[in-house]
Structure 1
Amino acid sequence: MGQDYLATKMANTLVTMLILSGPPLAAAVVLGVVVGFLQAVTQIQDQTLPQAVKLVVVVVLVITLGPAFSALLLAETSTILDEFPFVVP
């Protein structure tokens, strides 16, 4: 178990993290642009409106995608913990 193995495991973990954080982040960005455009069109100057809307959408998205996210995270964690004794000299 060399440095190549550890680098591969770290890369796989980072990819898993990106997969898990991608949908909520993308939803927040798209919603922020849409709400910002609507605020510009209607000339609403309230700064809490986009934050509240983004918060609600991200929470709903995390709740709905939670089982899929947790299965992916559990698989990655299980793999790391199962292979840990072989990594440590």
Structure 2
Amino acid sequence: MSEQLISHLQSTLSLVLYMSLLPLLSAMAVGLIVGILQAVTQVQDQSLPMTFKLLTVILLLLFGGALLAVPLEREAAEVFDSFPALTR
């Protein structure tokens, strides 16, 4: 029983890492580009990179959220289906 629980926890944690990878990478890339542009233009506004990162992540989740929700739905269905066996 505990092996199944550990397996579910491991797959859920890897799914969380997988789902957070794309927003983190996109925010990092946008932050790097905005940082380089700020260095070139000598604009030292601290809220500018955060605004672009936030907008990028929001747009990414709006347009790509359905693709990210499919593995989450599959994992949730698997956990709920095996829940009676895990709690015995």
TM-score normalised per structure 1: 0.93
Query: For the residues of structure 2 that align with 1:14 and 1:42, how far apart are their CA atoms?
Result: 41
Amino acid at match of 2:26: A
Q: Matched residues in 1 for 2:8 and 2:15: separation?
A: 11
Distance 1:70 1:23 in 2: 13
Structure 2, unaligned runs of 5 or more = none
Report the Cα offset of residue 6 of structure 1: 1.4
Q: How does 1:6-85 map to 2 (within 5 A)?
A: 6-85=5-84
C-alpha separation in 2, matches of 1:59 and 1:48: 16
Q: Percent identity?
A: 38
4+ runs of 1 displaced by more than 3 Å?
none
Q: Give unmatched runs, 5+ long, in structure 1.
A: none
C-alpha separation in 2, matches of 1:53 and 1:39: 12
Aligned pairs, number: 88
